[in-house]
Amino acid sequence: MDTYSYFLLSPYIETGLFKYAFFMIIMCIYVVIVCSNVLLIVVICMNRSLHEPMYVFLCSLFVNELFGSTGLFPFLLVQILSDIHTVSAPLCFLQIFLVYAYGSVEFTNLAVMAYDRFIAICYPLHYHTHMTHKKTAILIALTWLYPFFAITILMSLSVPLQLCGNIINKVYCDNYHIVKLACYDTTVNNVYGLTYTAAFIGIVLLMIYSYSRILIVCFSGSKQTRQKAVSTCSPHLASLLNFSLGCFFEIIQSRFDTKNVNNVVRIFSSLYWLTCPPLFNPVLYGLNLTKIRIVCKSLFF
């Protein structure tokens, strides 16, 4: 039993001079993520025609993706160039907080967006009565405050743990792997983790209910109603499926023994949920939502 001052990240592959090529690829991905998300944040903030609940929630989503990317990519770039893949304990726990907060905010933000589309499509005449500026502000606050509060409790349970090892089998710091290194009983951590997971399963069920009601309206309404519903909901559904797929990869890798899986596949699957949503969401919404597409065209042409 010991209190370790650093952790060793084991899955990094020794690539020799290729590490500079990987560094440039990751750097380019990070630059694209930052530029595309910042562009859409500026577009939404600077145009009064986009100051509607749906676009405000989108702006919150893009801010979170900048937040999550900043929690991962600078750290990843340093580790790629480093020959010894170690990280100090305080920095490791900071990264866990940032990464887990990103995932939680992303999920709650997508749930709020599903609720917004549910009201807009199922109760269009009452939309402006339900989605007032005050309610929009409350939903944005809950989208950020609830995950940060939940992750703070999670970290307060993980930081004091006495550990019997310091090797993390991932390319970034992960709370589940640190809990597995604990010397003593971690029942409290496990119970809280299950409670936290159950809360998000409840959110998933609410999203399924919202989109199922939307689909019913689509199939029972006019052609114009179907076209409007498809045009506004398709990017939301694509974004949700993309993020859910990344979470699935993450759960599989964390909960099951993947030692026999190719190291490159393991690294890709662990980074998917932190890389692909911030990379693809600006494209999904920028191309599919007519108002954003028109404003972007007016800016560039």
Average pLDDT estimate for 292-297: 76
- Count of CA atoms in the C-beta half-sphere (13 A) of 295: 21
Q: Is residue 209, in this structure, part of any structural domain at all?
A: yes
Q: Are 210 and 117 in contact (CB under 8 A)?
A: yes
Q: Is residue 148, in this structure, part of any structural domain at all?
A: yes
Least confident of 14-23, 115-124, 150-159: 14-23
Q: Is residue 203, in this structure, part of any structural domain at all?
A: yes
Side-by-side strand order, sheet with 167-168: 86-88, 6-9, 167-168
Mean pLDDT rounded to a whole number for the chain? 85
Q: Is residue 8, in this structure, part of any structural domain at all?
A: no
Kindly give, in sequence order, each residue whose CB lies less than 8 Å from that of residue 240, ignoring residues fewer than 6 positions away. 110, 114, 207
More confident residue, 287 or 62: 62
Per the structure, the complete domain to which residue 134 belongs is given by 13-300
Query: In the structure, what pLDDT confidence band is assigned to residue 258 with cuts at 50, 70 and 90?
Result: low
Cα–Cα distance for residue pair 134/150, rounded to 1 Å: 24
Number of domains, the chain: 1
Least confident of 135-144, 177-186, 217-226: 217-226
Read off the CATH number of the domain in which 253 is found.
Answer: 1.20.1070.10
Q: Is residue 164, in this structure, part of any structural domain at all?
A: yes
Q: Are 40 and 92 in contact (CB under 8 A)?
A: no
pLDDT at 250 (0 to 100): 81
CA 118 to chain centre: 22
Q: Is residue 1, in this structure, part of any structural domain at all?
A: no
Average pLDDT estimate for 127-142: 91
- pLDDT tens digits, one per residue of 232-248: 777 888 888 888 888 88
Q: Is residue 22, in this structure, part of any structural domain at all?
A: yes
pTM: 0.89
Q: Are 163 and 178 in contact (CB under 8 A)?
A: yes
Q: Is residue 6, in this structure, part of any structural domain at all?
A: no
Tokens found for residue 263: 């190291």
pLDDT at 38 (0 to 100): 93
